[in-house]
Chain A
Amino acid sequence: MAYEVPRSLVEAFYAVYATRDADRIAHYLHDDIEWTISGPVDYLAYCGTHRGKAVVVDLIKRQIPLVLRTYRFVPEAIVVDGDRAAMLSRQFSRRTADGAAISYRVANFMRFRDGRVAENVSLVDTFDAVEQVLGRPLAVRERKTDEDDVVAV
């Protein structure tokens, strides 16, 4: 029979995850975990795919706090189905460099195996997240095409 993750386990993991206590979170991570954060590594250096428990613990404990420190998660939905769980929450953080407030929605799509998280994909409104981390709007101008360069003669 296929593994089904109990809702109580998902909720327990999420409660610990919200504390950002990497050592406690580690207890819930599978040794072969794959953790992907969708986003631009140029601005959010912790984005990308991280493989293995030690690497993911380092991500949570060291890499992410280099950019922002999260102090609160407000869950909006927890959906559990078979070995998978999806969580939608609002994350409240402060920019590490200067303490500026940062807040955005985050979705986590997880797969559990043997009572531990084996896979996660995190998705956020990355445009909004980058602007908040930078503290300024991104330049979104359309670049000129060759046709625009034609001058009247």
Chain B
Amino acid sequence: MTGTSVQRDVVEAFYAVYAVRDASGFAEFLDDDVEWTISGPVDVLPFCGTHRGKAAVLDLFARRVPEVFSGFSLLRDSMLVDGDRVATLNRLAGRRADNGRVISYRLAHFMRFRDNKVVETLSLIDSYDAVEQVLGHSLVEERDHPVKQGNWAAL
């Protein structure tokens, strides 16, 4: 064990404020040295990348993510608590801030707590799905479609 154990009710309380985007409540759960990484393409999802320090993570939560998503809901599929580590699988839903388009994709969190505060988070998202929804069109390119027999023209 590398740190103090976190209690399930602390994790539940964290997710309660996270889900409703309560920035001041969220701040209460962040360690000063928190590192928060969201895996994904920053060209399309500018909030992706590694954010270090409480101020940077709060800015991510309160400003950078809302620039992309105007609404937000979190449906939790599973939550595992094991010592100082937490893993959750969720479905995140929101609306694109500039046009209201609904966006929904899977999101996994792997977290480490220290003294009941989040010190490390890695977010894995189904980023291909997320990008397609943010852009509002398929990413499959014509050149990647295999020729199907039904498409053959008589020569």
Q: Which residues of A contact B (CB under 8 A)?
A: 38-40, 42-43, 76-77, 79-82, 84-86, 88, 105, 107, 109, 121, 123-130, 134, 138-143
Contacts and interface: CB of A to CB of B under 8 A. Distances in A.
Chain A interface main SS type: mixed
Given A121-B106, A126-B129, 19 more contacts: A40-B128, A40-B129, A40-B139, A81-B80, A81-B82, A86-B87, A105-B39, A121-B77, A123-B108, A123-B124, A125-B40, A125-B125, A125-B127, A127-B131, A128-B39, A128-B41, A140-B41, A140-B135, A142-B135
Interface residues of B, number: 34
Contact of B108 (A80, A82, A107, A143): A107
Given A125-B39, A140-B131, A43 B140 contact: yes
Interface of B: 39-41, 43-44, 77-82, 85-87, 89, 106, 108, 110, 122, 124-131, 135-137, 139-141, 144
A80 B87 CA distance: 9
A10 B125 CA distance: 24
B7 to A, nearest CB: 13
A140 B89 contact: no
Nearest to A141: B135
Contacts of A82: 80
Contacts of B127: 125-128
A88 B85 CA distance: 12
A109 to B, nearest CB: 5
